[in-house]
Structure 1
Amino acid sequence: MDTILGPLYTAVSWIIVQFHSLYSLVFDEDSGWAWGLSIVSLVVLIRICLIPLFVKQIKATRNMQALQPKMKAIQERYKSDKQRQSEEMMKLYKETGTNPLSSCLPILAQSPFFISLYQVLNHIAQGKTVGVIDKSLLDSARSAHIFGAPLSVKFMDSASKVEKLGASLTDVRVVTVIMIVLMSLSQFYTQRQLMTKNVDLTVKTPFMQQQKMLMYVFPIMFAVFGINFPVGVLVYWLTTNVWTLGQQMFVIRRNPTPGSIAFTQRQERLRAKGKLKEDPVEVEAKKAAEVARANRQQPKRQTKSKRQLAGTVQPEAEKTSLEKQTPGDTKPKPKQAGGGSARSAKSGQRKGGPQRPKHPTKK
């Protein structure tokens, strides 16, 4: 490992030494501020160099989100044929220009620097020179403390080893626990922000379940592995988590995923400032819908007396229409069977026919 990553050890140690010489103009060269800020500056420098990869990661993540329905369909279609399933997946990636590994590029690019920093601090803890850190710088780095904890010690180190570096085991464990908790919280909030604000909620995909699982897995990983890392590595890790959180907040606010809550909020902000250019067709459709809604009237409920009045007015209207016939039309219109004509004939018979005698009343 040392042979393969030897050049990288030299590069990492050289960067740290250059920043240390800069901060030594302000702080004591043997202080934890000078060495700690050198590690923080190393993180910032690395993350600035990784910004192009971060942009590719965002694009790859969005492409993977968009492809999730198609990927799920392929998995269901070729459930029993794994080879055909893999071929169709690769074909889909090729057609859409998507690389599944692009979302992991920033992490993969940081890994060599992370391993190199771990090994540099491990050499310092063991009193071994590494890279450009010679004997004088080695003693200065070993004696540097951050809030009472040397940069080169771990949570699991023995009390005798910690005391040789002029610190107490209690201080070391308190500092490491606080840093591990902050690392876990920052990672959890970063993942939760991605899940709640920057995911297209209109499409339910397995990708959302994977992100939800990672939201809980990563903090546990930090807690488990963090106790085995030197304090200097914890400083590196906490700094890169805070950087990731701030970088993601910036991206979510300025360039959110379409269909997400953050996208809706951004559209509302632009609309309030008058900077959002809406589609003319959509604007006309909204206006037409508003006019139709305003003109739509609910039927008024009538009282019982009004309904009865309406029922009497209707036959009168029919009678009026019958009277308004043309002069040449002298023939009466045929009546329906059992209609008014039959009733009129019967009534005539009753009027003109013999009357039944009334029963005499008893006196």
Structure 2
Amino acid sequence: MAVIYEIISRILLFWHAAWHKVLGNGSWLGTNWTWVLGIICLVLTVRAILFPVFVKQIKSQRAMQALQPKIKALQEKHKGDRETLQQELMKLYREEKANPLMGCLPMFLQVPVFIGLFHVLRHLKPTMPEHLRTLYGWTAGQFESASHAKLFGAPIAASLRSTPHELALLGANGTTVKIVAAILIAAMMGTTFLTSRQMILKTGWAEDPQQRMVQRLMLYGVPFSLLISGTIFPIGVVIYWVTTNLFSLGQQMWVLRKFPPPNQNGAAAKQGAAKQKAKAPAKGGDKNDADSAKTVDARALAPKVGAKPVNPKKGGAAKR
């Protein structure tokens, strides 16, 4: 993992140096913006690198959705024969060039980045021995600057569970840290929920009970778990998580428009057919109304029962 820690550190230090050239110290509103923007740009760098993988993930998901009827048919055909079913499914995946594991690949690739940033920020403590401060490509000056960097008065290395002793060493106010951390944790939970909800609303709930249970777990379980685990995350890590969620919302919106789910196209076709079917009776009704109107008009022009017949010629002669 030391390689991961060094890569994350190098990217973070690169963006900090870049923003330092633009903003100088960049400290106002109780915030060291060069370090905060460095973390945000770290997210953008990682997501830009992973974007082609994300596109492949979406294409793989679409291929898997299109294969669902064939998969169900194989499950019915080989019910009770698990080994044969697995062989036939693998054969189907090879023929259709679909990979069910691609759906989780981007998430797995982001885990080392998250762990690396978590470790690096937890490493930024004033109590760290001198010989450990220059690990992963840091200088003593960069370590000192980052360990005291703040967001609205709360150190980015502090967390909701930081002890009074740790806060005193960081020169932070406990109440300020709790307020900033609580707001960021709420934002982290909310954006995580919205990211999962956006995908489910676009692709629809799964018909399989197990898959639907996984969707519910992603939608409600993961955000709720962050309420507990978020308390140990350094504020800098929570900034990273919120930023990556916001990036995911925009990225998913673009990808879902470019690669719409198959069931959306089917739903649109069904909706169009329903509209045309609804119009058909209306047209038939108009024709029937016209025919009935003609019938009514013909009856109105007919002579009444018991009335004397009128000779149009005589009537015309009398008028002359």
State the alpha-carbon separation in 2 of the partners of residues 117 and 153 from structure 1.
14
Q: Does 1:220 align with 2:227?
A: no
Q: Answer yes or no: is 1:48 the counterpart of 2:48.
A: yes
Structure 2 CA distance for partners of 1:6 and 1:213, relative to 1, 3 Å: closer
Q: TM-score, normalised by structure 2?
A: 0.77
Query: Match of 2:283?
Result: 293
The residue identity in structure 1 corresponding to 2:292 is K
Compared with structure 1, are the counterparts of its residues 73 and 221 closer, same or farther at alpha carbon in structure 2 (3 Å cutoff)?
farther
Question: Would you tell me which structure has more helix in proportion to its own residues?
Answer: 2
Residue of structure 2 equivalent to 1:28: 25
How much has 1:293 moved relative to structure 2? 3.4
1:82 maps to which residue? 82
Aligned runs of 1:198-213 on 2, under 5 Å?
Answer: 198-199=202-203, 204-205=207-208, 207=211, 210-213=214-217
User: Structure 1 length as normaliser, TM-score?
Assistant: 0.68
Write the letter of the residue equivalent to 1:185: G
CA contact under 8 A between 2:75 and 2:85: conserved in structure 1? yes
The reply on whether 1:234 has 2:231 as its aligned counterpart is no
Q: For 1:155, what is the secondary structure of its paired residue?
A: coil
Shift of 1:114: 1.5
2:168 maps to what in 1? 163
Cα pair distance change 1:46/1:260, threshold 3 Å: same
Shift of 1:85: 2.6
Please list every run of 5 or more consecutive structure 1 residues that lacks an aligned counterpart in the other structure.
Answer: 269-281, 310-363
Superposition pairs of residues 118-133 of structure 1, within 5 angstroms: 118-125=118-125, 127=128, 128-129=132-133, 130-133=135-138
Out of 233-242 and 217-226, give the one that drifted further: 217-226
RMSD over aligned Cα atoms = 3.4
The answer to whether the Cα contact below 8 Å between 1:64 and 1:98 also exists between their aligned partners in 2 is yes
1:64 matched residue in structure 2: 64
Distance in structure 1 (CA, Å) of the matches to 2:203 and 2:227: 27
Distance 1:140 1:99 in 2: 46
Once the two structures are TM-superposed, the CA of residue 232 in structure 1 deviates from its matched residue by 0.9
Q: Using the TM superposition, give the Cα deviation of residue 238 of structure 1 relative to its aligned residue in structure 2, in angstroms.
A: 0.9
Pick the structure with greater CA Rg: 1
CA distance in 1, matches of 2:138, 2:264: 49
Q: Would you say 1:185 and 2:190 are equivalent positions?
A: yes
Q: Quick check: 238-247 or 31-40, which moved more?
A: 31-40
Matches within 5 A, 1:340-359: none
- In structure 2, the partner of 1:317 is none
Identity of aligned residues (%): 35
Aligned match of 1:13: 9
The correspondence of residues 106-117 of structure 1 with structure 2, limited to 5 A, is 106-117=106-117
| Structure 2 letter corresponding to 1:163 | A
Other structure's SS at 1:137 match: helix
The one-letter amino acid of 1:293's match is K
Residues 55 and 255 in structure 2, CA contact (< 8 A), matched pair in contact too: no
Opposite residue 237 of structure 2, the aligned amino acid is V
The count of corresponding residues between Structure 1 and Structure 2 is 281
Please, which runs of 5 or more residues in structure 2 have no aligned partner? 303-320
